[in-house]
């Protein structure tokens, strides 16, 4: 991930964010790096943006994404 990568804001349940923060700390990663690692580990890095949003929404039971 580079500073030039696009910024995306996610609204996720607080319990999921807490789980991700615990995992990120355990793996010595940032929250963003933990999310990217999990997505890439599931093959989601090959999805188009639209397909990724749909898959995340399906897996998380509802997801709102806004971009600046």
Q: What is the pLDDT at residue 5?
A: 83
Mean pLDDT by 10 residues, the chain (68 residues): 80 90 94 86 66 76 64
Q: What is the pLDDT at residue 64?
A: 64
- Angstrom CA distances, 34 to 21, 26, 52, 68, stand at 8, 10, 16, 22
The answer to whether the predicted template modeling score (pTM) of the entire model surpasses 0.85 is no
Q: What is the pLDDT at residue 68?
A: 59
Q: What is the pLDDT at residue 3?
A: 77
Q: What is the pLDDT at residue 63?
A: 60
């Amino acid at each position: 991930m580079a500073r030039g990568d696009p910024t995306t804001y996610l609204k996720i349940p607080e319990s999921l964010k807490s789980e991700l923060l615990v995992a990120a700390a355990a793996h010595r990663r940032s929250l963003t790096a933990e999310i990217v690692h999990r997505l890439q580990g599931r093959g989601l890095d090959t999805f188009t943006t639209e397909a990724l949003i749909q898959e995340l929404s399906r897996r998380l039971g509802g997801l709102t994404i806004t971009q600046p």
